[in-house]
Amino acid sequence: MKFLSIVVLIVATGLISIPEKSQVLASVDECYCLDTKPDEKVCGADGKTYLSECWMKCHDVALNHAGPC
């Protein structure tokens, strides 16, 4: 019985600390840019250089020009 109580407590604690499924999926769907190559750098309208246009869009920034800023 004591073992079962400990297991239930551990499971309950773990469920509390897991983010909602929608939060996890939203972050994955918005920034899925694994195929970035070094020569794809772009300059965002915010004046920052991004690894690719995909990463720039993940930060909700418009394109200024291709290549680093």
Is residue 50 left, alpha or beta, with left meaning phi > 0 and alpha meaning psi from -120 to 50? Answer: beta
Set out the domains of the chain in order of their start, with CATH numbers: 39-68 (3.30.60.30)
Is pLDDT larger for residue 11 or for residue 56?
56
Give, in order, the Cα–Cα distances in Å from 56 to each of 23, 28, 34.
20, 15, 13
pLDDT reading at 7 higher than 60: no
Mean pLDDT across the stretch 2-17? 58
Interval 11-45: pLDDT, tens: 555 545 554 544 444 444 557 777 767 678 999 99
